[in-house]
Structure 1
Amino acid sequence: MESKSREWMQCKKSDPSVKDVVSCPCVKCNNERRKCRDEIELDLLKFGIFKSYTRWLRHGESISDQATHNNIINESNEFQEHEHDEMLDMLHEAFGVPLENDVEGERDKVSEGGDPKDAAEAFYKLMGDLELELYPGCKQFSKLSFLVKLFHIKCLTGIPDKSLEMVLSLFKEALPKDNTLPESYYEAEKIIKNLSLESIKIDACPNNCMLFWKEHADAEECVKCHASRWKKSKPSSESSTSQSKPKKIPSKTMRYFPLIPRLQRIFMPTKTAASMRWHSDERVDDPDGVMRHPADSKAWKSFDEQYPTFASEPRNVRLGLASDGFSPFRNGHIPHSTWPVVLIPYNLPPCLCMKQPSFILSMLIPGPKGPKDKIDVYLQPLIEDLKLLWEVGVETYDASKKENFRMFASLLWTISDYPAYGDLSCWSTGGAVGCPSCNSDTCSRWLSNGGKHCYMGHRRFLRMDHMWRYDGSTFDGKQELRPKPKQLSGEELLQQVNDEQAASKHTSKKRRRTKKKEKATKLWRKKSIFFELPYWSSLLIRHNLDVMHIEKNSLHPIRDPNNPTEIPKEFPPAPFTLSLEQKRNLCNFLTSVKFSDGYASNISRNSSLKERKLSGLESHDYHVILEHLLPLAIRDWPVSLSAPLIKLSEFFRELCSKALKIDELEKLEEQIGVTLCELERIFPPSFFVIMMHLPVHLASKALIAGPVQYRWMYPIERYLSKLIGYVRNKGHPEGSMAEGYLLEECLTFCSRYMDDIETKFNKQDRIYDDDGDDDISSTDCIPIFGIRGRAFGKENPRLFSTKEWEEIHYYVLNNCKEVQPFIE
């Protein structure tokens, strides 16, 4: 951004056609205010230039002039020096070396973290590559800057390794023979890897019992199940004749990406260090009780009250943890489940917090089978780092303030779908007490014919004076006088876990049937590893119910009046059963719907008019249908059926708003109980699986933890598809993902120092209407007409009607600031 501002000022100073007073292109003015050159220069230094302003057509410059200005810039020594300075800043901040230090000071500083010898060697090797010209006489690129930008293009566009190696060979041949490019992709990658952070391979028991780590690092077999650490080697004729021993291959290997250096790197660039204080320096508490960020939530503020020392330093990091299993192969028929663990830093502002460049991949748990409730085994290294970051902290350099501080970190909560919720929390989600919020007071019933539990009894969540509590005939024939389940605190839950573990240890052996009965009513599978964190039990919310996955009939027989004792042979359609005409109308409606580009996928492709059904919908498609299309599609249905469904749609739409008001959430909490009771009057018990019961707790969770956009799986699911793209070797998918992530992480850091090339941070929007085809300067017209757009389709000129002219005049008179003085 800074280099772009310098380019603009340099070009405009050298351009005599530009007037003394022109539109200011800074972020604040956005070409809407006219200022003199000196004022514009101050604004550009203070606020920076508008990102998408890539062609300077708002200042009288034509497309042909653009090439001329680019040539002026490329020939400028100042621009070349700036390019070198950006890369120099990148190296110093990557290794935590302040620029003002001398050479000896730099050597001492570089030697502080990790292995001093390796860090210092990598730093000075990269410094040498930065000073080395790409070829003799080349002033535009050094060896390092060229390779960094080449690998950046690879990561941004997804170029395969083989393709990049061929491109590298082509450059090697095209440039002068004495160029400094590496001979192969492997050698070039080794240079870039000097900038990347490390990953650690930790072998695991094939049965997920333990990690071969710390005191068990040299063990040959599992201490619990005695399974071998190594794969069985196949004997061959070559290996029998060879004198060397065959290499041992571990049965299962986890990739762990240490958390501490990654948190420290966030504070190394000046461009991101200041953003980590956003929640304290720039966020404003809304007096009306509106929550827009986790920092506005009751959970965040309660944590600050309990731990004021931690809260006193705004740079201390608050993290969220998300995990889910996925197949690393695009062919879904291959049974394989890899589990990544992703950390989200909540210190960042909303525009950065849930974006992929901000995510920290903590570990990759290998397949082919998921760890289930043994995920605690793999979380041990991460929990150890989190305990260190809470109890001791680590010395960290803040580049924005140019000072060292001791950084601490805490984990706020976990994010997952409901099956993974049980794995992370160790709660028994599949039994009679499947709801973790209702706990042991869960209201459930076993359906012997359906072979599953149903969760009804939502009248408990109504007001005590609600008439439905006393209306037994409409529901299950009984009055409902029980209060809603009590919400247990973290300390009460911890005591419950300890009591259950103590009881299981002292229970004598019983018959198998008794054991099955105890298993069905057991609340906890075991004690979660997260309780090792000293503050975990004091949190108001520990594990989130995922709104994304939660968003995804009673028949009365007709009897013969002449023979009422005869077994009926006919059944009327249920009130929620659609006729063929209704199905056809619903599919016609979904086929005709059109959305703004980027808002949703083309749902019309998933609607079959011939078969009158929907198929192939993704999670976000259900989100759009439930919240926006369903109320329109069923508005002609009977009110007794459409009204509760429309209320359910309104509940999720209000809950998923970017800004949540506390008083409205309290109304939603009361409303959802009534809506579920209305659904109980329509649908049979088999309809009420656990996912139909959980919405009753979503509003109360939002009252505690804030907006759901920071606690649902949509961004994580999209990140999983990114990890799938890293897979190059299908025989070792986790290894491919680890290598791809390390390279992507490194180039994401480097891209913050490349303003002259398209990156993730200055990338133009996919829909960018200012194509620059008009040579007329925006200074010649008033701002209301300065917004440009791209022409679509064939040109069809026509004359406006009298009514259209009147509408245009009315719009201008009511929206143009320049006209207002004449009207008044």
Structure 2
Amino acid sequence: MLPMNNEIPSSMYEAGKKFVVLGMRWKLKKNSAEIRKDVPAKVLWYFPPITRFRRMFQSAKITKDLTWHAHERDSNGTMCHPADFPSWKLVDHKWPDFAAEPRNLRLAISADGINPHSSLSSRYSCWPVIMITSNLSPWLCMKRKFMMLSLLISGPQQPGNSIDVYMAPLIDGLKMLWEVGVEAYDTYKEEHFRLKAILLWTINDFLALGNLSGCTMKGYYKKKSLFFDLEYWKYLHVRHNLDVMPIKKNVCESLIGMLLNIPGKTKDGINSHIDLVEMGLHEELVPQIGEKRTYLPPACYTLFEEKKKRVCTTLLELKVPEGYFSNFGSHVSMQDLKLYGLKSHYCHGLMQQLLLMAIRFVLPTHVRHAIIRLCLFFNAICSKVVDVGKLDEIQKDLVVTLCLLEKYLPPSFFDIMVHLTVHLVREVRFCEPVYFRWMYQFERFMKILKGYVCNRNCPEGCTAESYIV
């Protein structure tokens, strides 16, 4: 009944144990342990990309746009498109037959989780896997029109390391697009051709990177990534890109929480001072432990109430051009002298421009300059045009900046997110400008998908059907 070397479980009990490992089960009835066998707990929607790739070439305009990288890109020494970078050129050099056809697609995918319910207490999770085509021009590549929802994973919890089970149909489609290709019709040239595609990299945050790459980012389990089933995957320079957006957000929150001494957000506490004592550093910061309270001597980055008011007042009375920010003052509390509810785009603006203005005249010169150097680093790597000759200088400046910050800030400030900044320049050098690889555009697209939810009992079904329509 089965092909050679295939086996089936010897009993229903053995089969049931395998289903348990995969997490296949049914939803429970509300306020009851009774099982609803008509509603699965975990759902996977797969949207085959091959059919949509063929449809793209049925539009003469889109077909012309898909060959922009080969026919209309300027070779003036600037690097503003993935085709200018080594990862793209590696494919051209190693597989010249693939590169000889400019209509062959270079793809990237992004995976992240969203909560489809308005209630923050809900633990239900949806993971859209979104695909983009890098052949297009820089002003079209990240447009919503060309973002393709390839997978929609949903369940009571995140897929974790089991995400490979859900990714299998997409990987099979990518293998066929690489090894065999599909027949497609070019409306612009009015001819048939064999369409192939290659996946250049994934775009995700640090935790999702661990699930997709197989590297140990949390816990102790390490696995072989399913992406290595793709023949070319082991040859690529950068397989999984770090998303700059959460890195910048976490670094910004750590800085703001420490400067304003926000409870629960600050990295400056008694444990940090004790660590400095054990390391033999900054003897002037030794905590004075009394019977009723402990006194922490102020450090060089400590802001007293008057200077905190100056920082908060600057951000509260901020006037910016329309469209640059929404009402930033609504996130400033003058009573508590803190910032709250900062989203990713707020942290982006703070680290790019606003924090530089807010800390003027409130910090010692050496501390202020070190923080400004960190802000200028993010400003440099987020530019839309990359000057390769300056990347080495940017990397060296970052190393010096981190060394300066280590002299002034507590050890607890230097968590994994601060460390990941060291790797960002390498990814820019090999892949493409940051704005092709951060999650802002994907987050906006996922907000649209979340808006499709009408029935809270089956959010993934609403999202899938509305997306198809």
On whether the aligned pair clears a TM of 0.5, the verdict is yes
1:304-343 to 2 correspondence within 5 Å?
A: 304-343=92-131
Conserved? CA contact 2:82–2:134, under 8 Å: yes
1:724 aligns with 2:450: yes
Aligned residue number for residue 154 of structure 2: 366
1:661 aligns with 2:387: yes
How far apart are the structure 1 equivalents of 2:423 and 2:26? 47
How far apart are the structure 2 equivalents of 1:232 and 1:609? 47
What is the CA distance between 1:232 and its match in structure 2? 7.9
How far apart are the structure 2 equivalents of 1:399 and 1:358? 18
What letter corresponds to residue 279 of structure 1 in structure 2?
H
Relative distance call for 1:680 and 1:430 in structure 2 (3 A) is farther
1:588 aligns with 2:313: yes
What is the CA distance between 1:631 and its match in structure 2? 1.2
Aligned residue number for residue 252 of structure 2: none
Aligned residue number for residue 26 of structure 2: 231
1:643 aligns with 2:433: no
How far apart are the structure 2 equivalents of 1:232 and 1:271? 47
What is the CA distance between 1:251 and its match in structure 2? 4.2
2:53 pairs, out of 255, 258, 263, with 263
1:413 pairs, out of 194, 201, 208, with 201
Conserved? CA contact 1:337–1:369, under 8 Å: yes
What is the CA distance between 1:249 and its match in structure 2? 4.5
What is the CA distance between 1:726 and its match in structure 2? 0.5
Between the two proteins, what is the percent identity of the paired residues?
Answer: 44
Aligned residue number for residue 705 of structure 1: 431
Aligned residue number for residue 182 of structure 2: 394
Aligned residue number for residue 681 of structure 1: 407
How far apart are the structure 1 equivalents of 2:366 and 2:403? 13
Aligned residue for 1:279, secondary structure, equals helix
Query: After superposition, what is the alpha-carbon deviation per residue over 1:681-715, rounded to whole angstroms, capped at 9, x for unaligned?
Result: 11122111100111111112111112001111111
Computing the radius of gyration from Cα coordinates, the structure with the larger value is 1
Query: After superposition, what is the alpha-carbon deviation per residue over 1:258-298, rounded to whole angstroms, capped at 9, x for unaligned?
Result: 111011111111221111001111012223xx211111111
Aligned residue for 2:349, secondary structure, equals helix
2:245 pairs, out of 541, 544, 548, with 548
1:284 aligns with 2:74: yes
Q: Once superposed, what is the RMSD of the aligned Cα atoms?
A: 2.6
How far apart are the structure 2 equivalents of 1:413 and 1:726? 28
1:530 aligns with 2:318: no
5+ long unaligned stretches in structure 1: 1-213, 235-245, 432-518, 561-567, 744-824
How far apart are the structure 2 equivalents of 1:399 and 1:215? 46
Relative distance call for 1:686 and 1:349 in structure 2 (3 A) is same
How far apart are the structure 2 equivalents of 1:331 and 1:250? 21
How far apart are the structure 2 equivalents of 1:559 and 1:618? 33
Relative distance call for 1:740 and 1:580 in structure 2 (3 A) is same
How far apart are the structure 2 equivalents of 1:368 and 1:223? 20
Aligned residue number for residue 27 of structure 1: none
Relative distance call for 1:666 and 1:728 in structure 2 (3 A) is same
2:334 pairs, out of 609, 614, 617, with 609
Conserved? CA contact 2:116–2:450, under 8 Å: yes
How far apart are the structure 2 equivalents of 1:530 and 1:631? 42
Aligned residue number for residue 422 of structure 2: 696
1:416-435 to 2 correspondence within 5 Å?
A: 416-430=204-218
Aligned residue for 1:709, secondary structure, equals helix
What is the CA distance between 1:569 and its match in structure 2? 6.3
How far apart are the structure 2 equivalents of 1:680 and 1:316? 48
Aligned residue number for residue 632 of structure 1: 357
What is the CA distance between 1:231 and its match in structure 2? 3.5
Aligned residue for 2:302, secondary structure, equals coil
How far apart are the structure 1 equivalents of 2:365 and 2:233? 47
1:476-495 to 2 correspondence within 5 Å?
A: none
Relative distance call for 1:332 and 1:229 in structure 2 (3 A) is closer
Aligned residue number for residue 298 of structure 1: 86
Relative distance call for 1:232 and 1:356 in structure 2 (3 A) is closer
What is the CA distance between 1:601 and its match in structure 2? 2.1
What letter corresponds to residue 285 of structure 1 in structure 2?
S
Aligned residue for 1:377, secondary structure, equals helix
1:175-254 to 2 correspondence within 5 Å?
A: 222=16, 224-226=18-20, 231=26, 248-254=38-44
What letter corresponds to residue 548 of structure 1 in structure 2?
M
Relative distance call for 1:628 and 1:229 in structure 2 (3 A) is closer
1:741 aligns with 2:438: no
How far apart are the structure 1 equivalents of 2:399 and 2:28? 60
What letter corresponds to residue 269 of structure 1 in structure 2?
S
Relative distance call for 1:229 and 1:598 in structure 2 (3 A) is same
Relative distance call for 1:679 and 1:737 in structure 2 (3 A) is same
What is the CA distance between 1:643 and its match in structure 2? 0.6
Residue-pair matches, total: 419
What letter corresponds to residue 282 of structure 1 in structure 2?
E
- What TM-score do the two structures reach when normalised by structure 2? 0.84
1:672 pairs, out of 394, 398, 407, with 398
How far apart are the structure 2 equivalents of 1:591 and 1:669? 34
Aligned residue number for residue 347 of structure 2: 622
What letter corresponds to residue 224 of structure 1 in structure 2?
K
Aligned residue for 2:208, secondary structure, equals helix
Conserved? CA contact 1:230–1:248, under 8 Å: no
Query: After superposition, what is the alpha-carbon deviation per residue over 1:437-480, rounded to whole angstroms, capped at 9, x for unaligned?
Result: xxxxxxxxxxxxxxxxxxxxxxxxxxxxxxxxxxxxxxxxxxxx
How far apart are the structure 1 equivalents of 2:428 and 2:379? 13
How far apart are the structure 1 equivalents of 2:50 and 2:152? 17
What letter corresponds to residue 633 of structure 1 in structure 2?
A
Relative distance call for 1:590 and 1:328 in structure 2 (3 A) is same
Aligned residue for 2:18, secondary structure, equals coil
Conserved? CA contact 2:285–2:298, under 8 Å: no
How far apart are the structure 2 equivalents of 1:542 and 1:698? 14
5+ long unaligned stretches in structure 2: 1-5, 30-35, 250-267, 274-281, 287-292
Query: After superposition, what is the alpha-carbon deviation per residue over 1:288-315, rounded to whole angstroms, capped at 9, x for unaligned?
Result: xx21111111111112111111100000
How far apart are the structure 1 equivalents of 2:366 and 2:229? 51
Q: Runs of 4+ in structure 1 displaced over 6 angstroms?
A: none
Query: After superposition, what is the alpha-carbon deviation per residue over 1:375-395, rounded to whole angstroms, capped at 9, x for unaligned?
Result: 001000000000000000000
What is the CA distance between 1:540 and its match in structure 2? 0.6
